[in-house]
Each structure stands twice: as C-alpha cells, then as structure tokens.
Amino acid sequence: MDSSTARIVVRSSMLDLIRACGFSGLAGVRIDKEELRRRLLMPQYLRLAMLDSIRKKDVDGGDQHFRLRGSDSVSSSESPMVVFINSRSGGRHGPVLKERLKQLISEEQVFDLHDVKPLEFVRYGLACLEKWANNGDLCARETRQNIRVVVAGGDGTIGWVLGCLGELHQKGREPVPPVAIIPLGTGNDLSRSFGWGGSFPFAWKSAIKRTLQRATKGRICRLDSWHVVLQMPGGVAVNPPHSLKVTEECQLDQTLEIEGDVPDKVKCYEGVFFNYFSIGMDAKVAYGFHHLRNEKPYLAQGPITNKIIYSSYSCTQGWFLTPCISDPSLSVRAVVALNLHNYGSGRNPWGNPKPEYLEKRGFVEAHADDGLLEIFGLKQGWHASFVMVELISAKHIAQAASIRLEIRGGEWKDAYMQMDGEPWKQPMSKDYSTFLEIKRVPFESLMISGE
C-alpha cells in the first residue's frame, strides 16, 4: 500500500458533534481571509479560460485568454481549488454559502451543480489546462498538477463528483484531483468517514474558512468505489437515480450460472457507488421519503428536520411489523453492501468484531480501501432500531469482492433499491430475471482528510 494511504477509523458521534460546531483544533487560530484567498485563487486568465471552455463545451473555448495574456510572467497559486456546491442542499443556507465561497475564492472557481456539471469540468475545464500545459504554459501545468476539489453537498452529490473524476483514471489523465467535503446532506456518511463532520456547522461563516484551510493541507486517503451493472427485461419502465446511466452493452459475468430465463431484448444501466448499496425495506422507506420531500419541498429545511420527517415516515411503512413467516429470526427485510464504517448518519452497523470472531467467520478487519464489501442484513424495524443506536450489530452475512443478485417478481411486483442515498423502485417480471452485479472499480478515489 502507498505510504500516503490513510486508514479510515470509526469516529465517535461526540467528536463529530464537536467538529460540526466548529471547535476543532483550528478553532482558536485566526485565518486571514486575504492570505487564504491568495493561496486558493488561480490567475485570472486561467480561471476565465476554464470557465469559457466549460460554458462553450469546447476545449478550445478559452484560447483567447491565453493569447491576451502576453509574455508576462504569472505565478501559479500555492493551492488552486475549485468548489462544487449543491445550492439546494443545506436548507436555507445553500445559496448564502455559495456567495460566501465566491467571496473567499472567486466567482469563476465556485460551480453551482445546477449550472455546471462535474463531467463538463472534467472534459472541458481540466482539459483546457492540460492542453495549454502541453503547449508550454508553466502556470497551467502547475495549476493542473496541484488543483484540489471541494464538494459542498450530501453523499449523493459527492459520489456524483467522484464518479466524474473517475474518468480521468480511465483515460490516463493523471493526477486526479483529491476531494474535500462541506457536509450539506442529511446523512453525510462520506463526510463523517473522512473527518469533515456529520452536519453543517453552527458557526458556519468562520467554519468555511477553516474548511478551506484544511482542504489545502489535509493528507490524501484512498477510497474504493464499486461498479454496478443492472440488466432488466426490455420494455420495463424504470426511473433510476442519476448515478445510473443507460448503457448499450451489458457486461455481466458469463461464468456465473443463471437460474431464470432471459428475454431476447434487455435494458441495461451502469453506475458507481462509494458508500453502500441496499435492497429491501430501508430503500423503500428512503424512496417514499424522497418522493414526499419532492412533493412538499417546504418540508426540506435542513438535516435535523429531514431526520425527524424520515424517522416519522419510516414508522408508517410497516417495517415495525413482524414478518409473517414461521421463523422471523431467519429472515431479513433489508440487505446492505457497505464500503465504509458509516451508514445511516454515522452508525456502524457492521460493528467492531473481535479478532477471534473474524477468524471464526473467515472475515478480515474492514477498511474503506481493502477491496471488500461488508454485507449485512436488517430484520424488522425493532432490530434495525437497535442496530442504529449501536446496541447490537447487524446480521453479518459475508464479505465479498463482487456480488450478483438475480430477482424475479411474484407476490411483489417491485423491489426497492438505493445507492449512496439515491433510491429507486425496480419493477420485477414474473417471467424473466433482473440481474444486478457489483464489482470493484480497478482504481481508487482520492479523498482529503479533514482531520
């Protein structure tokens, strides 16, 4: 393993709370606004060239700024940085936070995800820097080499950005910028896992400067990501999350046995997750909550309100009813494949098994970059509740480097699934199988530690 690799450790909720309130080690250190801006601000011609390339969706779209620069020597910034913000996250703070970030860095280096997509930044903004670096522009070369990314949003937003940055790995366009986090979501499990806290800080104006400061100096950690292929019968109507995209080719593992029938025409999607995939009751609750929030957006006033509504909604969905089978202790109503220690707003359902238990079960100690998923089950709602308050561990099923699910309909016409907090309803055919395969992506994402 690379010496720069940092292991993820389980963090206490109290420590998260202290950091979230802004009382970290840097809390007593005054950060000079102008000095911070000097370190983060790219030369004007570079940031304008990047922005024009993105807006025009053309790598050559910013060339005029390089020509107008002339031959004057320009120094690159010490820690060039761009920020992606989901301004609709964080309740009422989102738009205000966006303006604050623009003041601290520059308007051209802060991208609202509703206006600039991360894939556009990768394909046009970074490509613009790469083009002029290859043409001999030293400032462009150093900026491209040292650039870091901050994502202000929830787990889904962070996964979206990381997935797009993964294209740099695939095409050999290294180095890949590492990512820091400003947590604006409800669960914020990725943020918790890398030391950025579990909620939006109360004293957020001063905390933003500390976050940007930490993002310039934080050590680099590694994170596994997982490729998902979903194959279903053709003609089935499904509304998948944005992290799943239609693909023409289904690359299912042909060495595995198929129990059901496969139709002549199939529809395929593929995507990537970083924290977890789940199927079952927990995904159904998440699906209903997301629809409720979309239908009544006035309810989405921030993480605390979201959690209260989410908990109330889950009680109406039947999870707390004992399954009607002969032996409920043998069944699970949700199966989760987990990559990180954090799930469901900082809980650790896998727990911390003792070495003798790991050896007995054939398990190994879990890490975010070990190439394995921890697969566990949740039974009825009472069992899940005890797991979530960490009185007990979830039902351990397996550790796996790859997974295949084959499902068919019957009494149930739909299955509920979710990836990194993005749920969807998956129709099931009685006649033909639907397949879902999960395999590790052959490269790791780079994260900046907030500790």
Long-range contacts of the stretch 394-398 (C-beta < 8 A, 24+) = 394/336, 394/349, 394/350, 394/351, 395/332, 396/350, 396/353, 396/361, 396/363, 397/335
Q: Judge contact between 68 and 74, C-beta under 8 A.
A: no
* Whole-number Å distance between alpha carbons of 182 and 85: 9
Last residue of a domain, one of 158, 187, 218: 218
Residue 266: domain span: 226-442
Domain check: are 362 and 409 in the same one? yes
Number of C-beta neighbours around residue 38 at 10 A: 12
Please give the structure tokens belonging to residue 323: 């399954």
Q: Give strand pairing partners of 268.
A: 231, 247
Last residue of a domain, one of 218, 246, 263: 218
Average pLDDT of every residue of the chain: 83
- pLDDT grade for 405, boundaries at 50, 70 and 90: very high
Domain check: are 170 and 249 in the same one? no
* pLDDT at residue 94, as a whole number: 79
- pLDDT grade for 26, boundaries at 50, 70 and 90: very low
Domain check: are 312 and 204 in the same one? no
Domain check: are 176 and 282 in the same one? no
* Whole-number Å distance between alpha carbons of 33 and 182: 18
* Whole-number Å distance between alpha carbons of 431 and 434: 10
Q: Judge contact between 111 and 121, C-beta under 8 A.
A: yes
Residue 383 has pLDDT above 90, yes or no: no
Encode 159-197: b = buried (16+ Cβ within 10 Å), e = exposed: bbbbbbbbebbeeebeebbbbbbbbbbbbbbbbbbbbbb
Q: Give strand pairing partners of 151.
A: 84, 181
Residue 241 has pLDDT above 90, yes or no: no
Domain check: are 138 and 269 in the same one? no
* pLDDT at residue 427, as a whole number: 92
Q: Mean pLDDT lowest for which of 161-165, 169-173, 264-268, 287-291?
A: 287-291
H-helix segments, 315-402: 355-361, 381-388
Spatial strand order in the sheet of 334-338: 395-400, 373-378, 334-338, 276-280, 414-419, 422-427
- pLDDT grade for 19, boundaries at 50, 70 and 90: very low
What size, in residues, is the chain?
451
Q: What is the arithmetic mean of pLDDT over 76-89? A: 90
- In eight-state DSSP terms, residue 219 is P
Q: Considering only residues 342 and 217, tell me which one the structure prediction assigns the higher pLDDT.
A: 217
Domain check: are 214 and 339 in the same one? no
Last residue of a domain, one of 194, 218, 242: 218
- In eight-state DSSP terms, residue 235 is T
Residue 324 has pLDDT above 50, yes or no: no
Q: Tokens 């000095």 appear where?
A: 35
Residue 120 has pLDDT above 60, yes or no: yes
Q: What is the arithmetic mean of pLDDT over 380-390? A: 67
Query: What tens digit of pLDDT does each residue of 270-287 get?
Result: 999 999 999 998 888 888
- pLDDT grade for 298, boundaries at 50, 70 and 90: low
* Whole-number Å distance between alpha carbons of 223 and 8: 9
Q: Mean pLDDT lowest for which of 20-29, 140-149, 205-214, 250-259?
A: 20-29
String of DSSP letters for 75-99: PPPSS-EEEEE-TTSSTTHHHHHHH
- In eight-state DSSP terms, residue 113 is T
* 11 occurs within a structural domain: no
Q: Mean pLDDT lowest for which of 15-19, 344-348, 415-419?
A: 15-19
- pLDDT grade for 9, boundaries at 50, 70 and 90: very low
Q: Considering only residues 451 and 305, tell me which one the structure prediction assigns the higher pLDDT.
A: 451
* pLDDT at residue 199, as a whole number: 81
Domain check: are 172 and 289 in the same one? no
* pLDDT at residue 12, as a whole number: 40
Q: Tokens 């966006």 appear where?
A: 98
* Whole-number Å distance between alpha carbons of 179 and 214: 12
Q: What is the arithmetic mean of pLDDT over 156-173? A: 92
* 105 occurs within a structural domain: yes
Q: Considering only residues 380 and 214, tell me which one the structure prediction assigns the higher pLDDT.
A: 214
Of the candidates 136, 192, 235, 149, the residue with the CA atom closest to the CA atom of residue 340: 192
* 449 occurs within a structural domain: no
Domain check: are 235 and 99 in the same one? no
Q: Considering only residues 281 and 194, tell me which one the structure prediction assigns the higher pLDDT.
A: 194
Q: What is the arithmetic mean of pLDDT over 333-357? A: 87
Q: Tokens 């896998």 appear where?
A: 350
Of the candidates 94, 118, 212, 251, the residue with the CA atom closest to the CA atom of residue 448: 212
H-helix segments, 21-92: 33-40, 44-56, 63-69
* pLDDT at residue 331, as a whole number: 78
Q: Mean pLDDT lowest for which of 23-27, 177-181, 188-192, 374-378?
A: 23-27
